[in-house]
Each structure stands twice: as structure tokens, then as C-alpha cells.
Amino acid sequence: MPLLSVRDLAVQFKTRKSTVRAVNGVSFDLDAGETLGIVGESGCGKSVTSLAMLGILPKAGRVTHGEVLFEDVDLLKVPDSQLRQVRGNDIAMIFQDPMTSLNPVLTVGRQITEALRKHMDMNKDEANKEAIALLDRVEIPAAKDRIEDYPHQFSGGMRQRVMIAMAISCHPKILIADEPTTALDVTIQAQILEVLKQLVAEENMALILITHDLGVVAGTCERTNVMYAGRFVESAPTPKLFAKPRHPYTLGLLKSVPRLDAARKEKLQPIGGTPLSMTSEIEGCAFAPRCIYATEESRTKTPELRRIDSDDHLVACWNPVQEEDMPRIEIVAARDEGVAG
Amino acid sequence: MSLAEAEAQELHLERPSSLSRDALDRFIHNKAAVVGVVVMVLLVLIAIFAPLIAPFGPQEQVGPLDSSNPAGPSAEHWMGLDEQGRDVFSRVVYGARLSLLVGLVSAAFGLSVGLVLGALAGYFGGWVETIIMRLMDIMLAIPALLLAIGLIALLGRGLVQIMIAVGITTIPVFARLLRGSILAQRESDYVLAARSLGVRGRRLLTVHILPNALAPLIVQATLVTATAIIDVAGLSFLGLGPAEPGLPEWGKMLADNATRLDRATHLVIFPGAAIVISVLGLNLIGDGLRESIDPKMRS
């Protein structure tokens, strides 16, 4: 039985003029200790999915459908008081922008101990000790001296480490990292991912890594789900997804990433067109207007995720990418080790 | 040493100063603000040590009861005598107590009520917000002085009543300011992050949102204290001030002697100057605070 099972989750945002269908029936399972990547472009519903699972959607947002089963309890149905026990304690989250995700008027120590004292019933001294230990674990040097510092006294990378320390403070079973490296420069990105990978392995946490960066999931996640217009369009073990993408959108994403090993004259191939407006009911496949593989069926019937090639490879497409078009990207072995570790 | 350690050690050398220290630093380097602080400190000291500074009591008759032609400034009476033979300098000195107290209490009253209303409106939203904010709009639609006059008519004349009346007129400004400030903070990432850790309702508001939303209110409070002093003086001038005769309040002193402006200018100039100086001092501090606290004005 999976640790977390999301079934047919749908979220809508109501504005005065229209209804935005941000998430349109998302389903996935997550086992204990599994690392799952969710990839997609801006506005495809990645973040909203995770906020909905924790019940912290912005006010205009509403879950219209589906269930989120965590250890067999539907988080969407439990009272808020019970959900608060899950937040931070069982499922914790890291956000995109470390520069704004820490409260500027509280010391980092105070912010880390807040969760410890709430969920772990520690007194002030115990919590302080634990906070220092946590900062040590995320490799913030001289943790003891830095616990009294304010967020603005840390660099971006260091702040993200603090966020990670806060998130893992109560030994959650699931860690959701929403674009954890997007706001950081590349060298720091690698460090942060390394810290994340290490902690996930040590604590045997499950990780949901939300990103638009295929490079990030390549080195970190065992499985990757590709999201488009509020739905998963493809789900496969990460190496398989990179080597044999079957959904045209996945293929498009892979082709639009610059590669060091490409010939110099080879041009990037961006995906043409723009995503559909999500305010109207989508008929057929949402990607059809931008898709060169689209058939008549794509425009009228919405495809469901179904098995293709093997049991662990799912794709939602009427006319999947054929063998001869696949880019056959192999994930570098060094990164693969990280996945296993 | 890992890369991270090296990075942090480098940081350690030039660790940036704390937020409040930064603000203090900017404040100290603002000459106008420092002048304002010096002025206000002097005024407060004068108010506290009034009995030591003033040569006579505020009600003490030291000269002739000559209401038609009071004596002007002299070596003995620096600011002259008033129509009842009282030393004007002593009255202005004692007046600092009353006027500053009235200004501060009015502003504090407005601030505390406005704070609660603004926090409720900003945090809960919905119909709570609608009711509170429309009420504030109605209060703002009535000119402040007129509103205060109406309130005094309702409450009666007196020192406490005038402070409440002026205080009430300042409520909407604080409430609106705090509501806007809270709305901005409520959607910020760190609030979302706190919620994702299971922090809830009241704690979220008091520990996370309020401290970040308060800065503009501090600035506003100084400026409101200044206007409160003027308002109280204005109300006194209109004859709606404290009813006790002879009370050394600057505005009341102006009002009492307005008819003698042609014969005894000193009776009006000195209390008037005292009002100007204290309001100027408060405004200088307020502007200085705004510049040092407001993140948008940081260079």
C-alpha cells in the first residue's frame, strides 16, 4: 500500500470573471522513501497540486474533486485541526524563493524551533539544541553562532538550507520541494540538491520534487511525472523517460533543453505556441493545438494515462511518439548513483 | 573544509548588521530627524521637570491684575505677564505637560483601537472586513475637526473627553494602514511556509504577520501625535477645550488671549511658538523614521 495516494484531484480558482481549472484530475502514488519528480512549465498546476494536498491553497482556490489518501486517511476530509498535525509533522514543504520564505523579523533559530516545539513537544533548550543539530546537518558552518541570526544575514543558498532544516525538523515522512533550486545560481543548486538527496536517503523520506528543470529531476528522482495543463501526461522511471519519451510534450521539453554534447550548429527546438487558457473546459487533449502528432481523436477525446511499453511507463496520448523520433538521452551514470543512494 | 563552510566563513567576515541596526544607522545619519529627536527630548524634559524650570506656578498671580494692558517680556518675566498677572513663561513650561500628554494619549488611543480593527479586517476578511472598513470610510468622510466637535458635543467638555474625541478621529487612518499592510504580508511566502509547518490562526497573526506589518504604523503614530496636538489646540481655540479656567494648555492660552492680540502680542506668540516647535519636532522624527524603516527608501 502506498504511503500517499492522490486520486483524481481537481482544483479550481474562482475569480470574478472566470474559473481557472488549475488541476484537472491528477492521480499518483508515492511509496515510503520514493523520490518522485513532477515536471512541467509555469502555470501547469505543479505547485497548486502540492498546496491542495496540504490544504493551504490561496483563498480563491478550491478542491472540487478527488481525494488525498495519506496513510489511508483522506486529508481533504479531515478537520483543519487534524490537518495541522500532518503539516510539518508528516508532510513538510520547501518553497521556491528562500529570500522571501523566511520571516524577516524572527531569528532562524526561533523559526526552526517553532515547529519543534509545536509538533515534538520539546522545551526551549531541547528545541534549541535540536535546531543547532539540524543546521549542522544541512551543513551550515558554525551553526551554534548562527542560530541567533536573522534571515537577511544569510546568503540565498544558506537560507534554502535553513528552509530545509525547518522542513525536516520533525522527521516528516514526505518532503515536498517546490522548485527548491530555481532561485539559486547553478553552483549552489548542485549543493542544495546534494544536501536534499543525502537527507532523503538518511531519513528514508519520500520526496516530491517539483521543478521545471529536467536537469534537476535527472539526478534526483527515481520516477518522473510530466504535467501539462493540470494533468499528468506521462509517468515513467526517470532514465526511461529521458531515453524513450512517448508523449510529444515530454519530447518537446527534452528537445528544448540545451545540451553540452550537441553539435554546435544544432538548434534548440522550442515547443511552438502557448499553453491553452485554463479558464474553459478543455475538449480533447490539452496539448493538441501545439502538437505535430495530433490526430482527429486528440482534438475530440481527452486521453487518459495508460500503460505503454511496460508496466511502469504511463502516457496519456492517442498518438505516442514513435521509436525513430526519440532523442535517446542517457542520464550520466554518476548521477544515476545518486538516485540509487 | 567543504565549499559551504568556506562560503560561510567568508560571509562571517563581513556579516551584515541587523535590520533594526540598519534602520537606526540610517536614522542617525538623517540630520533633520536628529534635530527632531533633540527638540522632543528637550520638550519632554521640560515637561517632566516643569516645577524646577518654571520660576512660578502656572496659576500663581505674581503681577498686577491688569487685564487691559499686561506687561511684556522683561528680565524678570521672560515671556511677560498675562491679564491675570501670571508669568507666561511658567505657564508655557507647565503647558508642555498637558499638550504633550494630550497629543500622546490621543494618538495612543487611536492607534490601539485602529490596530485591533485593522488587524481583524486584514486577517479575517469577508464580512468582518466589509463592516469595519465601510465604517472607517464613513468616519473619513466627515472632516476630522467636525467629527471631533460632534464627539465633544456628545461627551461633554473636559481634558479626557477631548483626548477621546481627537483619538477617535485618528482611528480610520491606523485601521486602513494596518489592513493594507496585513493584506500584503498575508500572501507572502514566509506566511505560506509557516502554514505549511502547521502554524495556525492567532499565532500566525501575532508572531508572523503583525510584527512585519507594524512599521508603517510606527511612522504614522508620530505624525498623528503632531496633528493631535494641533487638533486639541484648535478645539481649545474654538472654545471646546478643557472647561477648567486657567488650565495652562497651549491651545487654550491662544484662545483665551486671541482678543488681546493687538495689545499684548506676547500672550499669543509664545504658546503659539511652543505648538509649532513641538509639532515640527514630531514631524521631523516621523519623516526620519519613515525614511529609515521603509524598505523602498533604502539605498
Which residue in B has a C-alpha nearest to residue A146's C-alpha? Answer: B12
pLDDT tens digit sequence for A239-262: 999 888 999 999 888 888 877 776
User: Do A87 and A204 sit in the same domain of this protein?
Assistant: yes
Domain span including residue A99: 4-221
pLDDT of residue B15: 47
- Residue B251's pLDDT band (cuts 50, 70, 90): confident
pLDDT of residue B187: 82
User: Do A17 and A69 sit in the same domain of this protein?
Assistant: yes
ipTM exceeds 0.90: no
Q: Which residues of B touch A54 (CB under 8 A)?
A: 196
Q: What is the mean pLDDT of chain B?
A: 84
- Residue B280's pLDDT band (cuts 50, 70, 90): very high
- Domain count across chain A: 2
Q: Which of A48, A105, A163, A170 to mutate to test the interface with B (most CBs of B within 10 A)?
A: A105
Put simply, the answer to whether B5 touches A157 (Cβ < 8 Å) is no
Q: Residue A230 domain-assigned?
A: no
pLDDT of residue B5: 54
**Of B4, B9, B197, Cβ closest to residue A92:** B197
User: Do A177 and A54 sit in the same domain of this protein?
Assistant: yes
User: Do A17 and A58 sit in the same domain of this protein?
Assistant: yes
Put simply, the answer to whether B193 touches A93 (Cβ < 8 Å) is yes
Whether residue B75 is predicted with pLDDT greater than 80 in this model: the reply is no
- B189 CB near a chain A CB, below 8 Å? yes
pLDDT of residue A254: 87
Q: Which of A43-47, A103-107, B18-22, B241-245 is predicted least confidently?
A: B18-22
User: Do A199 and A309 sit in the same domain of this protein?
Assistant: no
In this structure, what CATH number is given to the domain that contains residue A209? 3.40.50.300
To the nearest whole Å, the CA of A83 is away from the closest chain B CA by 8
User: Do A64 and A202 sit in the same domain of this protein?
Assistant: yes
Could you state, in order of their start, the residue ranges of all structural domains in chain B? 18-65+77-297
Q: Which residues of B touch A149 (CB under 8 A)?
A: 15
CA B253 to CA B274: how far, in whole Å? 11
Enter the pTM of the model: 0.77
User: Do A21 and A98 sit in the same domain of this protein?
Assistant: yes
Architecture of domain B18-65+77-297: Orthogonal Bundle (1.10)
- Residue A333's pLDDT band (cuts 50, 70, 90): very low
Q: Which of A103, A153, A182 to mutate to test the interface with B (most CBs of B within 10 A)?
A: A103
Q: Write the CA distances from A287 to A290, A291, B224, integer angstroms.
A: 6, 6, 58
pLDDT of residue B178: 93
Q: Taking Cα atoms as reference points, which of A233, A248, A266, A261 lies closest to residue A320?
A: A248
Whether residue B6 is predicted with pLDDT greater than 60 in this model: the reply is no
Q: What is the mean pLDDT of chain A?
A: 86
pLDDT (mean) for B179-184 = 90
**Of A84, A101, A102, Cβ closest to residue B198:** A84
Is residue B126 within 8 Å of residue B277, measured between CB atoms?
Answer: no
User: Do A204 and A258 sit in the same domain of this protein?
Assistant: no
Q: Taking Cα atoms as reference points, which of B90, B108, B101, B107 lies closest to residue B159?
A: B101
Whether residue A68 is predicted with pLDDT greater than 90 in this model: the reply is yes
pLDDT tens digit sequence for A32-49: 989 999 998 888 888 899
Q: Which residues of A touch B195 (CB under 8 A)?
A: 56, 87
CA A253 to CA A245: how far, in whole Å? 10
pLDDT (mean) for B177-192 = 88
User: Do A145 and A194 sit in the same domain of this protein?
Assistant: yes
CA B151 to CA B229: how far, in whole Å? 17
Phi, psi of A316 (to 5 degrees): -110, 85
Whether residue B296 is predicted with pLDDT greater than 70 in this model: the reply is no
CA A91 to CA A87: how far, in whole Å? 5
- Other Cβ atoms within 10 Å of A275 Cβ, number: 17
User: Do A214 and A252 sit in the same domain of this protein?
Assistant: no
Whether residue B39 is predicted with pLDDT greater than 90 in this model: the reply is yes
Q: Which residues of A touch B15 (CB under 8 A)?
A: 149, 153
Torsion of CA A302, A307, A313, A318, to 10 degrees: -40
Q: Which residues of B touch A80 (CB under 8 A)?
A: 200
Q: Which residues of B touch A93 (CB under 8 A)?
A: 193, 196
- Residue B18's pLDDT band (cuts 50, 70, 90): low
CA A150 to CA B22: how far, in whole Å? 13
